[in-house]
A and B are shown apart, each in its own frame.
Chain A
Amino acid sequence: MSDRILVGTRKGTFIVEKSGGRWRPALAGHAGTGVNFVARDPGTGDLWALLGHGHWGAKVSRSRDQGKTWEDAAQVKYPDNARYIGMDFDDQGNPKEGAVRPATLLLLWVIGFGPSGRVYVGTIPGGLFASKDGGDSFELNRPLWNHESRGGDLFAGEPTSKNHWFGTPASTGEFAPGIHSIVVDPRNPDRVLVAISTAGVLETTDGGQSWRGANKGLLNDYLPNPAAEWGHDTHYMEICRGQPEHIWQQNHAGVFYSADSAATWKRVSAPDQGVHFGFPVAVDQEDGRTAWVVPGKSDQQRMAIDGALFVARTSDGGESWQPLREGLPQEGAHDVVLRHSLGNSGDLLAFGSTTGNLYVSENRGDSWRCVGNNLPPIYSVRFG
Chain B
Amino acid sequence: MAKVELTRHLYAFFPHLEGREIVVEASTLREVVSEVEKIAPGFSFYVCDERGRLRTHVNMFIGDERAQDRTNLSDPVGPESRVFIMQALSGG
Interface, chain A (partner B; CB < 8 A):
53-57, 59, 72, 75, 77-80, 102-105, 173
Whether A57 and B49, one on each chain, are in contact in the complex, defined by CB atoms closer than 8 angstroms, is yes
* Cross-chain contact of B57 among A55, A72, A77, A103 (Cβ < 8 A): A55
- Is there an interface contact between A57 and B90, defined as CB atoms closer than 8 Å? no
B27 beta carbon closer than 8 Å to chain A? no
- The answer, yes or no, to whether B55 is at the interface (CB within 8 Å) is yes
A72-B13, A173-B56 given; A57·B45 CB < 8 A: yes
Known contacts: A54-B91, A55-B91, A104-B51. The answer to whether A75 contacts B45 by CB under 8 A is: yes
User: Do residues A104 and B49 form an inter-chain contact, with CB atoms below 8 A?
Assistant: yes
Structural contact, A56 and B58, CB atoms closer than 8 A: yes
- The answer on a CB contact under 8 Å between A57 and B51 is no
Give Cα A105 to B90, complex, Å.
20
Which listed residue, B9, B10, B55, B88, touches A57 by the CB 8 Å rule? Answer: B55
A77 & B45 in contact (Cβ 8 Å cutoff): yes
* Residues in chain B near residue A56, CB distance under 8 A: 9-10, 13, 46-47, 55, 58, 87
Chain B interfacial positions (CB closer than 8 Å to A)? 9-10, 13, 42, 45-47, 49-51, 53, 55-58, 87-88, 90-91
Choice from B9, B42, B50, B53 contacting A55 with Cβ under 8 Å:
B9
How far, in Å, is A188 (CB) from chain B's closest CB? 33
Asked if A77 and B55 sit within 8 Å, CB to CB, the answer is no
Cβ–Cβ contact A72 & B42, under 8 A:
yes
Closest to A33 in B: B12
B28–chain A nearest beta-carbon distance, Å:
20
Give bound CA distance, A75 to B43, whole Å.
12
Q: In the complex the two chains form, is A55's CB within 8 Å of B88's CB?
A: yes
Q: Is the CB of A75 within 8 A of B42?
A: yes
Query: What separation, in Å, do the CA atoms of A78 and B53 have in the docked complex?
Result: 13
A104 to B53, CA, bound (A): 10
Let me know if A105 and B91 touch, CB within 8 A: no
| A residues in contact with B49, CB < 8 Å | 57, 104-105
A-B contact pairs, 6 of them (CB 8 A): A54-B90, A55-B9, A57-B46, A72-B42, A75-B45, A78-B50
B51 and A102 contacting across the interface, CB-CB below 8 Å: yes
**In the complex, residue of chain A having the shortest beta-carbon distance to the beta carbon of B57:** A55
Name the A residues within 8 Å of B50 (CB-CB). Answer: 77-80, 103-105
Query: How far is the CB of A340 from the nearest CB of chain B, in Å?
Result: 22
A227 to chain B, nearest CB (A): 38
Whole-angstrom CA separation of A78 from B56 in the bound complex: 17
Give A53 to B55 CA distance when docked, in angstroms. 11
Bound Cα distance from A293 to B11, whole angstroms? 42
Q: Are B90 and A55 interface neighbours, CB within 8 A?
A: yes
Which of A72, A78, A105 is the most central at the interface, judged by chain B CB atoms within 10 Å of its CB? Answer: A72
Q: Given A78-B50, A105-B50, is A55 in contact with B58 using a C-beta cutoff of 8 Å?
A: yes
Chain A's closest residue to B92 (CB) is: A54
Q: How far is the CB of B76 from chain A (nearest CB, A)?
A: 25
Residues in chain B near residue A173, CB distance under 8 A:
56
Residues of B within 8 Å of A104, CB to CB, are 49-51, 53
A53 to B57, CA, bound (A): 10
Complex CA distance for A306 and B91, rounded to whole angstroms: 31
A residues near B46, Cβ cutoff 8 Å: 53, 56-57, 59
Chain A proximity of B16: nearest CB distance (Å)? 13
Q: Cβ of B45: which chain A residues have Cβ within 8 Å of it?
A: 57, 59, 75, 77
Q: Tell me, in angstroms, the Cα distance from A318 to B10 when the chains sit together.
A: 50
Name B49's closest neighbour in chain A (CB-CB).
A104
**Which of B9, B50, B55, B58 has the most chain A CB atoms closer than 10 A to its own CB?**
B50
Other than the known A57-B46, A79-B50, A104-B49, what 13 A-B pairs have Cβ atoms closer than 8 Å? A54-B90, A54-B91, A55-B9, A55-B90, A56-B13, A57-B49, A59-B45, A75-B45, A77-B45, A80-B50, A105-B49, A105-B50, A173-B56
CA distance A72 to B13 in the complex (A): 9
